[in-house]
Amino acid sequence: MSKKGENIYKRKDNRWEARYIKGYKPDGSARFGYCYAKTYREARNKLNAAKSALLKGTAAATGARKRFGAYCEEWLTLCRSRVKESTYMKYDAIIHNHILPNLGGCHLSALSTVLVEQFSHLLLYNAELSAKTVRCILTVVHSVFGYIRRQDALLLPQNIEIVYPKESKKEMRVLTREEQQVFTEYLLDDLDDCKFGVLLALLTGLRIGEICALRWGDISLSDCTLTVSSTMLRLKDYGANAPQKTKIVMTDPKSNTSARVIPLTQYAEKLCALRKKKDPAAFVLTGKSDRYMEPRALQYRLERYTEDCGLNGIHFHMLRHTFATRCVEVGFEIKSLSEILGHTSPKFTLERYVHSSMELKRDNMDKLAAIGY
């Protein structure tokens, strides 16, 4: 086969063949297109027309040699100064644990709705991740797509659609009134700093990181209030000489609304008065200013406490949901409850934290007796 010009060959059957790159496969190898003609000039014209159509239709011929993973790394670098450290760590884990191993080697022209759907299916059924986790991963993919398009609108095919899996709503388990009574009596028996902190979280709806970071200076007995101003997290340590892979970080609460002041009930205020430490810098869970209890250790303690009470499968966030349920049962105004929980809106509180217990359902059904039911 003889050749004349750029990628234009004369075949053994005397026809001219023009070859061009029209895209790339997921593994990065080129996918070729071909034009055939009786003369070299006709083949060259067809080749130029095909390349022109390709440029107008998709971005396969522009910037396509740069792989998707490179853009993910660039986007992640820009996020580092824009988001909280904990959020950055979450993005880092999503990109390096899921996106790069599966999509990182793809050239932009290989990305498509079908490929993203295959990625989503793999995460759901092969990796067996929850629909909520997969939605978070796909949200990051969507954000990287937006970053690429802001660099050059022609780099990425415009018709990529991301189909998010539906989340099956699972009812959060909360302690019944009887279980809560048993648990409370257990904590009060031989009450120590850690048990007191767990009970205080149950009485105020604090998150696990918030109770771990809580100091006695955050509790005002004169105002009967508790101020949430920080949270404790265990994050990946990127230090070059870090002796461990993770580190404990004290940071601002989860969101702006998470920084809040919670009024204490009379019962909670009396408990605080009994346990109050003179040093305002002392952590509530330890009673010491130079010693804290991290969330993982507190969760282990809670598991031991609940097993001693015969309550199995209880994790710390269930205490927060239990608090919200008790508030609803006594007719708590929903906006006030939302602010006490540190939520961004009452709608979120209603959708995620309002659990109708059997006792509350029965009480409401009994109201029908007034009209003869």
Give me the mean pLDDT over the 88-111 stretch: 90
Task: Tell whether the torsion through CA atoms of 268, 271, 272 and 273 is positive or negative.
Answer: positive
Q: What is the mean pLDDT of residues 50-57?
A: 66
DSSP letter string over 121-149? HIIIIIS---HHHHHHHHHHHHHHHHHHH
How sure is the predictor about 1, in pLDDT bands with cuts at 50, 70 and 90? very low
pLDDT score, position 62 = 41
Q: Where in the chain is the domain with CATH 1.10.150.130?
A: 68-151
pLDDT at position 131 over 80: yes
Q: How crowded is residue 90: how many other Cβ atoms within 10 Å of its Cβ? A: 15
Q: How far is CA 43 from CA 1, 2, 254, 256, 276, in A?
A: 15, 14, 62, 64, 88
Torsion of CA 41, 45, 46, 49, to 10 degrees: 170
Percent of the chain residues topping a pLDDT of 90: 50
The total number of residues written for the chain in this structure:
373
CA neighbor of 61 nearest in space, from 69, 70, 71, 51: 51
The string of pLDDT tens digits covering residues 246-291 is 888 888 887 788 899 999 999 999 999 999 999 999 999 999 999 9
Where does the pLDDT of residue 178 fall: very low under 50, low under 70, confident under 90, or very high at 90 and above? very high
Residue 181 Cα to chain centre, angstroms: 33
The Cα 287–Cα 278 span in angstroms is 10
- Give the pLDDT confidence score for residue 26 in this predicted structure: 53
DSSP labels for 58-113?
Answer: -STTSSTTSBHHHHHHHHHHHHTTTS-HHHHHHHHHHIIIIIHHHHTT-BGGG--H
The predicted structure's pLDDT at residue 250: 87
Quick one: tokens of 61?
A: 């011929």
Is the pTM value of this prediction over 0.75?
Answer: no
More confident position, 242 or 373: 373
Mean pLDDT (the chain, rounded): 86
Exposed, middle or buried: residue 364 (CB in 10 Å: 0-12, 13-18, 19+)? exposed
Q: What is the pLDDT of residues 289-337, one digit of tens each?
A: 999 999 999 999 999 999 999 998 899 999 999 999 898 888 888 899 9
Q: What is the pLDDT of residue 64?
A: 46
* CATH H-level superfamily of 177-226+260-365: Intergrase catalytic core (1.10.443.10)
**68-151 CATH pick, 3.60.15.10, 1.10.10.10, 3.50.50.60, 1.10.150.130:** 1.10.150.130
User: What pLDDT is stored for residue 35 in this prediction?
Assistant: 86
